[in-house]
């Protein structure tokens, strides 16, 4: 595909997604999702599947559209803007892991239904009581059998498959677990953002497919998830800025639009530069991933840190800009506020990724 073709394809993705969200991401639907313990918009997911969204980033030889992470990035930015919640990152990530695995059986069985959207996948790395999913897991794996648990993970309540990492005799092992089996228990509970369809997973002699081995390979899988998520965060943060700007122009106090007060103007610019820094980091990480630069996991970690900061800040200050209206259930800002924090927590904390970044960048205390 030539670069202008690719550019056009990305524009098409954005258009399509935006049109879809115009129909589905209405305040009423989004609020209804928050009101259930497991909020998952099946109708929106079906519509996304009909558009082929789960296939966008999957390579063509695996039945996907072959648009890679740039395609996924464009998609997730739009998803983030509309503050909808769709399990679109796990599918290409699981596909990557399946394609990279020496065992062809799981790929033969699951690749096609994942790409077609018939099956939903989730990524569950975080463990109860741990701040970092990047450290050695406690979930134990012996051969193809899992015992232990994973902390609440996005879409685990509705997924058919979970990608987890487990400890296999002192080494990290990436496993794909079919969730519909007696050895798997899902626990759901109302949370900060019910639209994420979180569930904690418990495994008792659950059967799973071993895919990849080693901390490095698993770190890269997580970095891929982090990078795609960064674009979702950037989309959300940009929507907050647009929302705050709109309100600042419309709302009047002391005889003028509040957007004329420097307290508000400077606040909005502080959102803007954080978003641009995050976007810069994320685009560079994407270029590095595509261009074969071995530093790409460090750049993906930088993108995640910048995107967390940008979205947290923009979501918080969007509420503040809206004044009392911002703390009402009826107004939209709190959807972003919830989402910002959830996306920051689901893949492990800022501290965990900071450590990953510094290690990848060679800034360890021990290193000479």
Partner 1 sequence: MDFSLDPADEAFRDEVRQFLREKLPADIAERSRRGYHPLLADVQAWTRIVYDHGWPGPNWPAEWGGCGWTHLRQFIFEEECALAGAPQLDVASFRMFGPLIMTFGSDALKNRYRDPILRGETCWGQGFSEPNAGSDLGALTTRAVREGDEYVINGRKIWTTNAHVANVLCVLARTNPESRRGFSMIIVDPKAPGVTIRPIIDIGEGHSLNETIFEDVRTPVDNLIGEEGQGWHYAKSLLDNERASSAEIPANKFNLMKLRQMAQRKRGDGTRLIDDPGFAARLARLEIDLQALEFLTLRALTEKAGGTRLPVGSLLKVRGSELFQKTGEMQLEALGDYVSYAYPPPEQSPHGIAAWPPGPAFAPGVVADFMYRRATTIYGGANEVQRQIIARSFLEL
Partner 2 sequence: MSSASALLEPRTAVPAEDALERYRLDARAWLAEHAPRFSGAVRRGLPLERDVALGRAWQALKAAHGYGAITLPKRYGGGGGTELQKIVFTEEELRYDLPVAYFSISLSNPVPIFLRHAPETFRQRLGPPAIRGEHIWCQLFSEPAAGSDLAALRLRAERQGDGWVLNGQKLWTSWAQIAQWGVIVTRTDPDVPKHAGLTYFFLDMRSPGISVRPIRRLVGHPDLNEVYFDNVYVPDEQRLGEVGGGFRVAIETLMIERYGITDETASSPALEALVELARRARLNGRPALADGEVRAAIARAYVERQGLRSIQKRAMEAIAAGREPGPEGAIRKLLLGRMRQQLGALALDLMGADGIRLDPQGESSRDFAHAWLDPSVRIAGGTDEVLLNTLAERVLGLPQDHRPDKGVPFRQLES
Pairing relation of β-strands 184-187 and 161-168? Answer: unpaired
CA distance 61 to 52: 16
- What is the nearest approach in angstroms of partner 1 to the Cβ of residue 45? 21
66 and 59 Cβ atoms separated by less than 8 Å: yes
Q: Which of residues 23-62 bind partner 1 (CB under 8 A)?
A: none
User: Rule CB under 8 A: is residue 304 a binding residue for partner 1?
Assistant: no
| Residues 122-161 contacting partner 1, CB under 8 A | 126-131, 135, 138, 151-152
Q: Are 223 and 297 in contact (CB under 8 A)?
A: yes
For binding to partner 2 (CB under 8 A), which residues are involved?
Answer: 96, 99-102, 212-214, 216-217, 220-221, 241, 245, 248-249, 256-257, 259-260, 262, 264-266, 268-270, 272-273, 276-281, 283-284, 288-294, 296, 299, 302, 305-306, 309, 351, 354-355, 357-358, 361, 363-365
Exposure string (b/e) for 336-365, b if CB count within 10 Å is 16 or more? bbbbbbbbbbbbbbeebbebbbebbeeeee
Task: State the Cα–Cα distance between residues 197 and 338, nearest whole angstrom.
Answer: 13
Which residue, 129 or 292, is less far from partner 1 as judged by CB?
129
DSSP string computed for 97-152? HHHH-S--HHHHHHHHHHHTTSS-EEEE---TT-S-TTSPP--EEETTEEEEEEEE
- The structure tokens 């496993």 sit at 175
- Name the β-bridge partners of 171: 168
**Residue 2 contact among partner 1, partner 2, none, beta carbon within 5 to 8 Å by kind:** none
Q: Which of residues 257-276 bind partner 1 (CB under 8 A)?
A: 261, 263-264
Q: Which is nearer to partner 1, 198 or 279 (CB)?
A: 198
98-127 residues in contact with partner 1 (CB under 8 A) are: 126-127
Tokens standing for residue 268? 């909005």
Per CB under 8 A, the list member of 155, 296, 313, 337 interacting with partner 1 is 337
The listed partner (partner 1, partner 2, none) that binds 128, CB under 5 to 8 Å by sort, is: partner 1
Total residues in contact with partner 1, by rule CB under 8 A? 41
Tell me: does residue 345 bind partner 1 (CB under 8 A): yes
β pairing state of 256-257 and 171-178 = unpaired
Q: Is 328 in the site for partner 1 (CB under 8 A)?
A: yes
In the chain the first and final C-alpha atoms are separated, in Å, by 44
Residues in 188-247 at the binding interface with partner 1, rule: CB under 8 A = 189-192, 196, 198
Which residues have CB under 8 Å from 308's CB, separation 6+?
Answer: 233, 340, 343, 344, 350, 353
Question: What are the residues binding partner 1 (CB under 8 A)?
Answer: 126-131, 135, 138, 151-152, 189-192, 196, 198, 252-254, 261, 263-264, 316, 319-320, 323-324, 326-330, 333-334, 337-338, 341-342, 345, 349, 351
């Amino acid at each position: 595909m030539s670069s202008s073709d690719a550019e056009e394809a990305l524009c098409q993705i954005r258009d399509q997604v935006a049109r879809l969200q115009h129909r589905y991401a209405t305040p009423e639907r989004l609020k209804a999702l928050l009101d259930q313990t497991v909020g998952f918009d099946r109708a929106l997911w079906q519509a996304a599947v009909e558009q082929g969204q789960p296939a966008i980033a999957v390579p063509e030889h695996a039945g996907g559209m072959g648009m890679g992470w740039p395609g996924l990035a464009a998609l997730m930015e739009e998803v983030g803007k509309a503050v909808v919640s769709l399990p679109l990152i796990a599918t290409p990530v699981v596909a990557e892991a399946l394609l990279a695995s020496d065992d062809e059986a799981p790929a033969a069985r699951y690749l096609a239904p994942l790409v077609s959207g018939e099956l939903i996948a989730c990524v569950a790395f975080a463990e109860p009581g741990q701040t970092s999913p990047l450290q050695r897991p406690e979930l134990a794996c012996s051969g193809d059998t899992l015992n232990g648990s994973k902390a609440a993970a996005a879409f685990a309540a509705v997924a058919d498959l979970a990608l987890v990492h487990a400890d296999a005799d002192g080494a990290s092992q990436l496993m794909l677990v079919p969730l519909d089996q007696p050895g798997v228990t899902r626990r759901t509970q109302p949370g900060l953002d019910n639209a994420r369809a979180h569930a904690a997973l418990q495994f008792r002699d659950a059967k799973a497919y071993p895919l990849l081995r080693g901390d490095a390979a698993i770190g890269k899988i997580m970095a891929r998830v982090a990078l795609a998520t960064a674009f979702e965060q950037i989309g959300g943060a940009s929507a907050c800025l647009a929302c705050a700007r709109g309100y600042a122009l419309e709302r009047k106090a002391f005889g003028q639009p509040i957007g004329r007060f420097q307290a508000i103007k400077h606040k909005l610019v502080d959102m803007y530069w954080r978003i641009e820094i995050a976007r810069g980091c994320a685009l560079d990480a994407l270029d590095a991933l595509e261009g074969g630069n071995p530093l790409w996991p460090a750049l993906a970690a930088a993108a995640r840190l910048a995107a967390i900061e940008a979205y947290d800040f923009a979501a918080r200050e969007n509420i503040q800009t809206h004044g009392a209206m911002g703390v009402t259930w009826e107004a939209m800002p709190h959807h972003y506020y919830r989402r910002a924090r959830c996306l920051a927590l689901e893949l492990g904390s800022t501290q965990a990724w900071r450590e990953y970044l510094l290690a990848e960048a060679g800034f360890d205390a021990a290193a000479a």
